[in-house]
């Protein structure tokens, strides 16, 4: 994964001696020292192109300024990023970029996170010298499901062109025409067809490529952002959840070299809509439909109180966060001898060789580590009298066979974030939150433990599984080890770490932003 560490060289940056890996490009060398070299076309996830000329710096011994992005660090290099010459060139390049720019910030979605705006405030602030007309180009060009293009705002940095060339391997954009009539465009008659198109919106430094989904929805300065993990598949792409007014506004990929690089797929990006879709906001009772959660809780407690261990079975979903799985396992143990199965009946995806995995669940690995995976077929072949299903929609995903199996269950109890066919078959169902409403962890296919943060408040009466099960345990007069009030991940993790060898030593609050790889050896012991 990580290449062999390069030789460390000594060079000078604005007069100060610095060390850097040999060959590292100067933008990154500077970034590492807190010095921002402005740039448009350079992106660490793409090959260097050197076209925007914004990152020109002075190098002693070179007559002309050089682009930092294409200059590798080497022994003895002396570079300057803040000389009058450099500042003058920067300003000149900015002025050139803005000559034909429509300067329509008030109606531009990018405003607030626009490189042109930011650099102008830092390095521009000149009186306009442009009189007369600007070059007019195409606006509001529909590029398919994800993206809208405004070629007048474009700075022609070709990041989007190179994204397809370098990342998906199938070119979908190019620049037509020459000179100041150059325009980004798709190939004639084609839309953006890639399942990763949304990424070009993120990497577009200006308002040229905007998201159809996010357009005109919210000014970016109203957004609050939390670190999260995409629940769309076993890759577990690191994401940012941008939210405002208790509403998720958009997802963006968060750089994680070990998981997703700088990217995420469009399905994952749009996945946040499911947080609001088809939710079970209160409880469910057979014969009553949706009811206040407390009625469903009463009924659930009543049924479980009357069940013997041999009567009860539990189904854990690979969609649940690790903490919920652990809580379910502990709860099941309160019924010594109860059967526990884990898994899903959802049809897998097709892996695409880029990011998307066939396994559509974010936490299958944790299910394995906790020893909960498997046994679903057996459970359905020989269903218990009382079956507690968490989050899985067995009825919706499993077809006739699953429906027949569930019909044989006397009391189907469901914990679910959505009002699924399974919920509608249940004796009682309780609402639980999605990943966006709680703190928690997922373990991706490669065994990387990642943390996600709560973005919005739980919808309706949804309660996190550990709290819900603590409440149920208390109702049943059993001791689960925590109370609804202490059912936070931070409070649960010491018990998880102690009980599960693969997780030993994990401290919830110490999980790094990019997660960490669990020890595969210890994982094996857990199984």
Number of residues in contact with other proteins under rule CB under 8 A? 36
Q: Which of 154, 155, 341, 380 is the binder for other proteins (CB under 8 A)?
A: 155
> To the nearest whole angstrom, how small is the minimum distance from the Cβ of residue 169 to other proteins?
16
* Beta pairing class for 386-390 and 312-316: parallel
Q: Which of 5, 132, 287, 512 is the binder for other proteins (CB under 8 A)?
A: 132
25 beta partners: 72
* Cα 508 to Cα 391: distance, rounded to the nearest angstrom: 23
> To the nearest whole angstrom, how small is the minimum distance from the Cβ of residue 18 to other proteins?
23
Write out the H or E segment, with its range, that includes residue 124. Answer: none
Q: Which of 15, 129, 336, 347 is the binder for other proteins (CB under 8 A)?
A: 129
Which stretch, 25-33, 62-70, 284-292, 294-302, contacts other proteins (CB under 8 A)?
Answer: 62-70
Give the closest residue to 342 by CA, choosing from 314, 361, 369, 323: 314
> To the nearest whole angstrom, how small is the minimum distance from the Cβ of residue 98 to other proteins?
9
Does 525 help bind other proteins (rule: CB under 8 A)?
no
The secondary structure of residue 459, as a DSSP letter, is: P
Helices 489-499 and 322-333: crossing angle in degrees, nearest 10, is 60
Does 244 help bind other proteins (rule: CB under 8 A)?
no
Nearer to other proteins, 71 or 322 (CB): 71
Say if residues 96 and 120 touch (Cβ distance below 8 Å). Answer: no
Give the closest residue to 54 by CA, choosing from 28, 16, 92, 17: 92
The secondary structure of residue 242, as a DSSP letter, is: E
Does 95 help bind other proteins (rule: CB under 8 A)?
yes
Give the closest residue to 458 by CA, choosing from 482, 492, 431, 485: 431
Both tokens of 95, joined, read 């002025």
∠ CA 488-494-498, rounded to 5°: 140
* Cα 21 to Cα 9: distance, rounded to the nearest angstrom: 6
Nearer to other proteins, 175 or 511 (CB): 175
Q: Which of 21, 45, 50, 484 is the binder for other proteins (CB under 8 A)?
A: 50
Which stretch, 125-133, 241-249, 270-278, 366-374, contacts other proteins (CB under 8 A)?
Answer: 125-133
Both tokens of 525, joined, read 């012991």
3-state secondary structure at position 380: helix
Cα distances (angstroms) measured from residue 370 to each of 325, 394, 447: 8, 21, 13
Nearer to other proteins, 53 or 448 (CB): 53
Does 97 help bind other proteins (rule: CB under 8 A)?
yes
3-state secondary structure at position 291: strand
Alpha helices by DSSP H, listed for 7-83, are 26-32
Q: Which of 17, 106, 127, 178 is the binder for other proteins (CB under 8 A)?
A: 178
Nearer to other proteins, 203 or 429 (CB): 203
> To the nearest whole angstrom, how small is the minimum distance from the Cβ of residue 118 to other proteins?
17
Q: Which of 13, 26, 156, 406 is the binder for other proteins (CB under 8 A)?
A: 156
Q: Which of 26, 56, 167, 394 is the binder for other proteins (CB under 8 A)?
A: 56
Nearer to other proteins, 180 or 247 (CB): 180
Does 138 help bind other proteins (rule: CB under 8 A)?
no
∠ CA 368-371-374, rounded to 5°: 70
Both tokens of 411, joined, read 């009391």
Q: Which of 8, 177, 246, 457 is the binder for other proteins (CB under 8 A)?
A: 177
Does 499 help bind other proteins (rule: CB under 8 A)?
no
Q: Which of 13, 26, 29, 89 is the binder for other proteins (CB under 8 A)?
A: 89
Alpha helices by DSSP H, listed for 33-141, are 84-99, 115-123
Does 92 help bind other proteins (rule: CB under 8 A)?
yes
User: Where does this chain bind other proteins (CB under 8 A)?
Assistant: 48-54, 56, 63-65, 67, 70, 89, 92-93, 95-97, 99-100, 129-130, 132-133, 135, 155-156, 174-175, 177-182
């Amino acid at each position: 994964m990580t290449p062999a560490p390069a030789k460390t060289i000594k060079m000078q940056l604005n007069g100060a001696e610095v060390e850097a890996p040999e060959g590292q490009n100067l933008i990154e060398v500077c970034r590492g020292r807190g010095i921002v070299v402005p740039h448009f076309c350079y992106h660490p996830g793409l090959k260097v192109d050197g076209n925007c000329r914004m990152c020109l710096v002075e190098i002693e011994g070179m007559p002309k300024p050089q682009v930092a992005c294409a200059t590798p660090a080497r022994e003895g290099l002396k570079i300057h990023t803040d000389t009058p010459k450099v500042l003058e060139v920067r300003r000149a390049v900015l002025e050139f970029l803005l000559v034909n720019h429509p300067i329509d910030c008030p109606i531009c979605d990018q405003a607030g996170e626009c490189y042109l705006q930011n650099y102008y405030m830092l390095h521009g602030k000149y009186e306009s010298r442009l009189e007369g007309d600007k070059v007019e180009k195409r606006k509001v060009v529909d590029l398919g499901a994800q993206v809208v293009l405004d070629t007048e705002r474009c700075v022609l940095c070709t990041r989007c062109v190179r994204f397809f060339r370098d990342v998906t391997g199938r070119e979908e954009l190019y620049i037509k025409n020459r000179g100041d009539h150059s325009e980004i465009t798709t190939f004639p008659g084609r839309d953006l067809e890639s399942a990763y198109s949304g990424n070009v919106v993120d990497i577009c430094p200006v308002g040229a490529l905007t998201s159809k989904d996010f357009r005109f929805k919210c000014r970016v300065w109203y957004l609050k952002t939390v670190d999260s993990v995409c629940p769309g598949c076993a890759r577990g792409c690191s994401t940012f959840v941008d939210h405002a007014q208790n509403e998720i506004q958009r997802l963006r990929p968060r750089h994680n070299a070990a998981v997703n690089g700088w990217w995420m797929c469009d399905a994952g990006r749009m996945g946040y809509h499911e947080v609001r879709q088809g939710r079970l906001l209160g409880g469910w009772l057979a014969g009553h439909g949706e009811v206040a959660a407390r009625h469903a809780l009463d009924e659930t407690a009543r049924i479980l109180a009357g069940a013997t261990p041999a009567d009860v079975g539990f189904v854990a979903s690979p969609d649940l966060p690790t903490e919920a799985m652990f809580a379910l396992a502990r709860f099941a143990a309160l019924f010594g001898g109860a059967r526990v199965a884990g898994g899903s009946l959802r049809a897998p995806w097709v892996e695409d060789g880029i990011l998307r995995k066939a396994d559509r669940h974010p936490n299958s690995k944790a299910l394995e580590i906790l020893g909960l995976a498997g046994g679903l077929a057996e459970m359905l072949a020989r269903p218990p009298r009382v079956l507690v299903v968490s989050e899985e929609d067995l009825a919706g995903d499993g077809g006739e066979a699953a429906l027949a199996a569930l019909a044989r269950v006397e009391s189907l109890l469901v914990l679910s974030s959505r009002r699924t066919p399974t919920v509608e078959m249940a004796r009682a169902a309780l609402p639980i939150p999605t990943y966006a409403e709680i703190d928690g962890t997922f373990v991706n296919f490669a065994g990387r433990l990642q943390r996600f943060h709560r973005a919005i408040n739980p919808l309706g009466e949804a309660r996190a599984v550990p709290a819900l099960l603590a409440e149920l345990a208390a109702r049943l007069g059993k001791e689960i080890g925590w109370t609804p009030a202490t059912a936070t991940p931070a409070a649960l993790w010491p018990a998880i770490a102690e009980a599960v060898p693969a997780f030993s030593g994990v401290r919830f609050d110490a999980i790094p932003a990019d997660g960490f790889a669990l020890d595969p050896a210890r994982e094996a012991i857990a199984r």
